[in-house]
Amino acid sequence: MQQIPLRTLSTTTAVGGKIHVRLTEGRFQNLRRLISGPLLLIYFALVWVQVDGRSWLLFDFEARRILLFGLDLAWHDLPLLAGLMIAGSTLLFFAAVGWGRVWCGFACPQSIWTWLFIRIETLTEGRAALRRKQEKQPLTGTRVLRRIAKHALWLLAAFVTAFTFTGYFVPARELSQQLLALQPDIATVGWLVTMTALTYLNAGLAREKVCTHMCPYSRFQGVMFDADTRTVTYDAARGEPRRTTGSSNGDAGDCVNCDLCVQVCPTGIDIRDGLQYECIDCGACIDACDKVMEKIGKPKGLIAFKSENQLQNKPSKLLRPRLLGYFSVLLITTGAVAFGFSQRSALVLEVLRDRGAIVQHNSRGEICNSYQLKLEAVDPSLSSVELSLRGPQGLYLNGPATLWLGDQGSHSQGYQLCSRNDSLPPRVDITFVAQAGDVRVEKASTFLQLAR
């Protein structure tokens, strides 16, 4: 068996200088656009969607509400949102164990916006080879105008991105009216400027440095991989030793050393140097290499989504206990969140006992307990609530029977629960009942009665 020669790895372009990414075409780039295109459309369009005059997706901190696709979520629904985040994280881990950093290459916002900014750069300043050639030349003539046009379009794209993001916290129509009337508040202006600057910096100037130095996933991905993980891999046994294009050397491998795999890589690495944490598994190098293999009459797949075991011609199972374990956790988490959403109530009742004076006596000598009742309506159509008590004979409630929730959909009210029955035990189970139309909520509590 022929020995693969050792090579000293050079410093990658990602560290040593600016990367001029060469755009390529192929099945993985088509798949990436098929995923990222709808995600971009959803991001920019969803902020304008309204149902019955209300935003379909809005994080309204002022009203302490989240409008989520027709659902009204309040602070007590935060565990459901946490469950959604856990389910999303589990899906990310599931994908990483099976296929590496495919999330980073195909669906991560940083990657999507980076490719968008690269296309703007290609449109204004030309292809990568031309940009690379002109990089060391003085910036004169039409190149100045092209450079200004590039940064202007970058800033425009960054501002539209920032405006859309802000529209998920402040209604987009309200925000646009404020900007058109030149009457936005200082906080909104500061937020828009900050988000525009961050988008411009991340997608336009930092790019691959975000993926390689700022993203935590690039650092812990190694513990997610195993010998059966399908990730973008170079088949060194087939490709080495490298040859030049058109070489007829029978001992040479299939790699013609064209370096196209490096030129199309958005993080500037050479996949032929082995698995590297900078690789985001976008598949650009696969598409570029497959085209070269077609031209020289060699089979595709010199660079491909392959596992370590596949490269060594060993059995490689995609479905394995580790992957199935993550999938099971994903199903359980998703099921729990779905069940939680199905059990949500349109009205929330909290009963807090006065801890300062648990047992008191009123002017008639009766034993009383003090409670603070908090009501919050998730459904904005609920405006008033009828409050009652369920418990043994001899207990009565001092306080209003009807509570108005007001514009904020919430109300807090203090009550006294007193006893006319001397024969009650020291501890009595009671239930507060809140009724708003067809919505009924009950909250259990206790009444403490000590000796008179």
What pLDDT, on a 0 to 100 scale, did the predictor assign at position 246? 57
Secondary structure (DSSP) of 396-419:
EEES-SEEE-TTTTEEEEEEEEEE
The whole-number pLDDT of residue 249 equals 62
Determine the pLDDT at residue 359: 81
Please check whether residue 157 is in contact with residue 120, taking contact to mean a CB–CB distance below 8 angstroms. yes
- Alpha carbons 344 and 204: distance in angstroms, whole number: 43
DSSP string, 27-56: HHHHHHHHHHHHHHHHHHHHTT-EETTEES
Distances (CA, A) of 238 to 118, 128, 266: 32, 29, 25
Distance CA 199, CA 187 (A): 18
The confidence score (pLDDT) of residue 11 equals: 44
CB-based contacts of 270-275 (< 8 A; 24+ apart in sequence): 270/12, 271/232, 271/233, 271/234, 271/303, 272/234, 272/236, 272/239, 273/7, 273/9, 274/234, 274/236, 275/225, 275/231, 275/233
**CB of 94 closer than 8 Å to CB of 326:** yes
Q: What angle do CA 185, 190, 194 make, to 5 degrees?
A: 150
- DSSP 8-state code for residue 200: I
Query: How far apart are the C-alpha atoms of 237 and 313, rounded to whole Å?
Result: 11
Provide the pLDDT for residue 192. 96
* Parallel, antiparallel or unpaired: strands 303-306 and 71-73: unpaired
pLDDT per residue of the chain (452 residues) written in tens, 0 to 9: 444 444 444 444 444 478 999 999 999 999 999 999 999 999 999 999 998 888 999 998 887 788 999 888 887 888 999 999 999 999 999 999 999 999 999 999 999 999 999 999 999 999 999 999 988 888 888 999 999 999 999 999 999 999 999 999 999 999 999 999 999 899 999 999 999 999 999 999 999 999 888 888 877 777 788 899 999 999 999 999 998 755 556 678 999 999 999 999 999 999 999 988 899 999 999 999 999 999 999 999 999 999 999 999 999 998 899 999 999 999 999 999 999 998 888 888 999 987 777 788 888 888 899 999 999 888 878 889 999 999 988 899 999 999 998 777 888 999 999 988 878 888 899 999 999 988 999 999 999 886 55
Amino acid at 267: T
Q: How many CB atoms lie within 10 A of CB 273?
A: 14
Which CATH topology does 347-448 take? Immunoglobulin-like (2.60.40)
For residue 437, the model assigns a pLDDT of 86
Do 57 and 43 touch, CB atoms closer than 8 A?
no
What does the block give as tokens for 216?
Answer: 């935590």
Report domain extents, the chain. Answer: 1-19+220-344, 23-73+108-206, 347-448
